[in-house]
Amino acid sequence: MRRAVYPGSFDPVTNGHLDIIKRASEQFDEVIVGVLNNSKKTPLFSAEERVNMIKCITSDLPNIRVRSFEGLSVNFVRECGAQVIIRGLRAITDFEYELQMAQTNRVMAPDVDTMFLITSLEYAYLSSTTVKEVASFGEDLDKFVQPVVADALRNKFRTRIMQ
């Protein structure tokens, strides 16, 4: 069984992430999307909300599982019984950080390898941060995220404005 883990914050999941999930699902028997629950960060969406959104938009992909985790990705990868970490690369600016992470992970866990998928051109500019920025101004989100995520973003910012 070839199993990979795609770890990230996914706050929230964008069409760029979804593209990577779909492409990874074609390469592995099973892909586990790992939603990082980082106590040092204050995400817009709780880990549970992020997991549920990813489950919802990947429900047509039979070999995708979604779980939240805390701590180091390599420990989560081992716990899942996976051999590979998937990461997406958008631009040269991603490269330095990703290289450092992949090399650090390799030292900590020589049995785990990192594979990079290069973003599809149409999603190269997309990030969760810019999507949140656009959402905060109440603009149309349909080109960036799936409808269920757009709804969740609208609700989140509506609630925030009312507070």
Q: Give the interface with ligand ADP as residue ranges (CB under 6 A).
A: 8-10, 14, 16-17, 20, 87-88, 90, 94, 119, 123, 126-128
41 is catalytic: yes
Nearest residue (CB) to ligand ADP, 105 versus 128: 128
128 is catalytic: yes
Shortest distance in whole angstroms from residue 98 CB to ligand ADP: 7
CB 51 within 8 A of CB 67: yes
User: How many DSSP H helices and E strands does the chain contain?
Assistant: 6, 5
Catalytic residue among 9, 25, 73, 128: 128
Strands (E), the chain: 3-8, 30-36, 64-69, 84-89, 113-118
Among 25, 121, 108, smallest CA distance to 6 is for 25
Shortest distance in whole angstroms from residue 128 CB to ligand ADP: 5
Shortest distance in whole angstroms from residue 87 CB to ligand ADP: 4
17 is catalytic: yes
Nearest residue (CB) to ligand ADP, 113 versus 163: 113
Shortest distance in whole angstroms from residue 99 CB to ligand ADP: 12
Catalytic residue among 55, 67, 78, 90: 90
Among 77, 2, 3, 1, smallest CA distance to 34 is for 77
Q: Return d(Cα 147, Cα 163) in angstroms, integer.
A: 24
Residue 50, helix vs strand vs coil: helix
Nearest residue (CB) to ligand ADP, 10 versus 69: 10
Q: Which residues are catalytic?
A: 17, 41, 90, 128
